[in-house]
């Protein structure tokens, strides 16, 4: 005979204790699993959703203190059915009962209630009852246990960091948790815990609990930021509105690898972020960078000017930071254009002032391009495409970009481009900085003639006056 659950209707635990006493006297097994009740609805129905349920675990789940005391006094084993009674106490967050069952010999590594996956506790219980998790850890629970989150097997350390629980992270590490354990998903690639945190939706975080908190906790615990398999992974997962995350990663030695294009050209990580239209991330990366930038970042300044930010002040700050890191202001792109050519074409006067102050040649000329751009020789076509601004999206941001094909006609100065794009303030700045108004393009046109072609008499007169005063 086995001890079964007495009724599906609530009843005082004292009455249930007396009923249990009668069953035990008749030879019932106090540690047997709860049996099916053939009475409810005329069909066999198991009273517990937990297949390992025992009378003790059911009494714990229902908070039946008198019955629990009776069962323990009469030989109920807290270790029965893989310490399911302890799992039930953790599940409902009953700290006193957890301590009682542990003191009576229950295993702190009990499987979670209503789950077949070994873990310290289930996700709901941990997030609600982290103090219980500390008790279990102190009693010898496995610090490298895992939790099942939407099908993924996630190290408990990752969830503790994700919750921003510094105390529990420290406790786990003191008990030997592996900071480089992987998150496992059925049929998916194992991911580092950092990748898992970085891949979480932004909606999972708040201004009070930013993503940088769990990232910092994992890194402080010893997580290796360079264990990822994809060299672009960290930057691919970071967000422009969370630049503090990339700063923390860089401070802990994260390697931000260049992108290698099919033609073999390397684009530095800062350049690649600028090319992607980001501003806050490359700014943070520049703040953390030490000394002069690598050669892989040679296109950064050109990309910063041509991919002008929607927020002009951010773009100015980005160009200033690049120049402070000794980026060459006279570096030329595939069409021999400098950053000053691009700034003049798009009317970025503040940027032009910084470039001129850094030593950019105001009379630099673009190169000759008698062939179509796609046939340009000696230039990596991937780079050419990166630096070509003729896309609809780019033109929508800067209508002057429709004049970009002018640059292919060759030997154009920044002054000619500013005049053609009708940026009078840019023209006046260049004239003040010594740009020569009488220089001619490959086809014999001066800057004034470009302005006249646009029917802009004011700019044409500015240029004519400057020519007469030379």
Confidence of residue 150 (pLDDT cuts 50, 70, 90): low
Which value, in Å, is the radius of gyration of the alpha carbons in the chain? 35
Domain-located, residue 131: no
Q: Provide the 8-state DSSP code for 401.
A: G
Q: What is the mean pLDDT of residues 23-45?
A: 61
What's residue 173's pLDDT? Answer: 95
Domain-located, residue 371: no
Question: For residue 219, which of 240, 198, 242 has the smallest C-alpha distance?
Answer: 198
What's residue 343's pLDDT? Answer: 92
Q: What is the mean pLDDT of residues 353-376?
A: 74
Q: Which domain holds residue 6?
A: 1-114
What's residue 400's pLDDT? Answer: 45
Tell me: pLDDT of 384 over 70: no
What's residue 114's pLDDT? Answer: 59
From the centroid of its chain, how far is CA 73?
Answer: 53
Domain-located, residue 99: yes
Tell me: pLDDT of 15 over 70: no
What's residue 104's pLDDT? Answer: 93
Domain-located, residue 311: no
Q: What percent of the chain has pLDDT over 70?
A: 76
The better pLDDT of the pair 49, 366 is held by: 366
Q: What percent of the chain has pLDDT over 90?
A: 33
Q: What is the mean pLDDT of residues 137-161?
A: 85
Confidence of residue 36 (pLDDT cuts 50, 70, 90): very low
Tell me: pLDDT of 8 over 90: no
Using CA atoms, how far residue 224 sits from 72, 179, 210, 227, 458, in Å, is: 47, 8, 20, 6, 61
Residue 232 tokens, joined: 């672009």
Cα–Cα distance for residue pair 175/394, rounded to 1 Å? 54
Q: 3-class DSSP state for residue 277?
A: coil
Q: Which residues pair with 29 in a beta bridge?
A: 2
What's residue 279's pLDDT? Answer: 85
What's residue 26's pLDDT? Answer: 60
Could you give the residue ranges of the DSSP H alpha helices within 388-456?
A: 392-397, 414-420, 424-432, 447-453
Q: 3-class DSSP state for residue 29?
A: strand
Tell me: pLDDT of 107 over 50: yes
Give the tens place of pLDDT for each residue, 416-437: 999 988 999 999 999 999 999 9
How many C-beta atoms surround the C-beta of residue 62 within 10 A? 17
CATH number of the structural domain spanning residue 14: 1.25.40.20
Domain-located, residue 319: no
The better pLDDT of the pair 4, 363 is held by: 363
Residue 406 tokens, joined: 């002018």
pTM metric for this prediction: 0.71
Give the tens place of pLDDT for each residue, 280-322: 899 999 998 877 788 889 889 988 888 765 456 778 999 999 9
What's residue 387's pLDDT? Answer: 44
29 contact partners, CB below 8 Å, separation of at least 6: 1, 2, 3
Q: What is the mean pLDDT of residues 252-272?
A: 83
Pick from 165-174, 404-413, 421-430: least confident = 404-413
Domain-located, residue 23: yes
Tell me: pLDDT of 245 over 80: yes
The better pLDDT of the pair 19, 330 is held by: 330
CB-CB contact of 344 with 367 (8 Å): no
Spell 395-433 as b/e; 16+ CB within 10 A means b.
eeebebbebbebbbbbbbbbbbbbbbbbbeebbbbbbeb
> Position of tokens 């008749």?
26
Tell me: pLDDT of 196 over 80: yes
Q: Provide the 8-state DSSP code for 26.
A: T
Could you give the residue ranges of the DSSP H alpha helices within 221-348?
A: 233-237, 243-251, 269-275, 280-288, 300-306, 312-324, 339-346
Domain-located, residue 148: no
The better pLDDT of the pair 241, 371 is held by: 241
Tell me: pLDDT of 3 over 70: no
Confidence of residue 206 (pLDDT cuts 50, 70, 90): confident
What's residue 238's pLDDT? Answer: 82
What's residue 442's pLDDT? Answer: 86
Give the tens place of pLDDT for each residue, 443-469: 889 999 999 988 899 999 999 998 888
Spell 315-347 as b/e; 16+ CB within 10 A means b.
bbbbbbbbbebebbbeebbbbbbbbbbbbbbbb
How many separate domains does the chain show? 1
The better pLDDT of the pair 50, 116 is held by: 50
What's residue 396's pLDDT? Answer: 42
Confidence of residue 35 (pLDDT cuts 50, 70, 90): low
Domain-located, residue 306: no
Euclidean distance between the first and the last CA atom of the chain, given in angstroms as a whole number: 114
Tell me: pLDDT of 397 over 70: no
Tell me: pLDDT of 70 over 90: no
């Amino acid at each position: 005979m086995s001890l079964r659950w007495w009724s599906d209707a609530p009843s005082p635990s004292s009455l249930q204790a007396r009923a249990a006493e009668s069953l035990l006297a008749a030879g019932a097994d106090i540690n047997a699993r709860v049996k099916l009740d053939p009475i409810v609805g005329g069909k066999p129905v198991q009273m517990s959703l937990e297949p390992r349920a025992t009378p003790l675990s059911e009494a714990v789940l229902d908070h039946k203190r008198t019955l629990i005391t009776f069962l323990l006094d009469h030989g109920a084993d807290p270790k029965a059915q893989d310490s399911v009674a302890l799992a039930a106490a953790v599940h409902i967050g009953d700290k006193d009962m957890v301590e009682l069952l542990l003191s009576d010999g229950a295993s702190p590594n009990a499987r979670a209630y209503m789950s077949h996956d070994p873990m310290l506790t289930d996700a709901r219980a941990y997030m609600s009852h982290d103090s219980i998790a500390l008790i279990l850890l102190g009693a010898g629970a496995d610090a490298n246990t895992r939790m099942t989150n939407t099908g993924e097997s996630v190290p408990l350390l990752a969830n503790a960091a994700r919750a921003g629980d510094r105390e529990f992270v420290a406790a786990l590490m003191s008990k030997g948790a592996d900071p480089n354990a992987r998150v496992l998903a059925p049929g998916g690639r194992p991911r580092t815990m950092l990748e898992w945190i970085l891949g979480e939706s932004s909606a999972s975080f708040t201004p009070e609990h930013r993503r940088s908190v769990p990232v910092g906790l994992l890194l402080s615990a010893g997580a290796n930021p360079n264990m990822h398999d994809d060299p672009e992974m960290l930057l691919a997962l970071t967000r422009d509105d969370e630049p503090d995350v990339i700063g923390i990663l860089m401070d802990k030695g994260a390697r931000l690898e260049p992108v290698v294009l099919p033609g073999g050209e390397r684009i530095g990580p800062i350049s690649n972020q600028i090319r992607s239209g980001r501003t806050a991330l490359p700014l943070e990366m520049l703040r953390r960078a030490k000394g002069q930038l690598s050669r892989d970042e040679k296109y950064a300044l050109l990309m910063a000017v041509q991919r002008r930010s929607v927020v002009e002040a951010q773009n100015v700050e980005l160009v200033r930071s690049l120049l402070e890191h000794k980026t060459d202001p006279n570096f030329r792109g595939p069409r021999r254009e400098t950053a000053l050519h691009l700034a003049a074409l798009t009317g970025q006067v503040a940027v032009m002032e910084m470039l001129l102050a850094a030593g950019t040649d105001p009379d630099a000329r673009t190169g000759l391009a008698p062939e179509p751009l796609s046939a340009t020789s000696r230039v990596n076509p991937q780079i050419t495409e990166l630096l070509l601004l003729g896309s609809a999206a780019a033109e929508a941001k800067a209508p002057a970009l429709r004049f970009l094909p002018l640059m292919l006609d060759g030997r154009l100065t920044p002054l000619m481009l500013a005049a053609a794009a009708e940026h009078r303030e840019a023209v006046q700045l260049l004239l003040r900085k010594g740009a020569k108004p009488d220089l001619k393009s490959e086809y014999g046109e001066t800057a004034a003639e470009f302005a006249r072609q646009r029917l802009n008499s004011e700019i044409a007169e500015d240029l004519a006056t400057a020519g007469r005063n030379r």
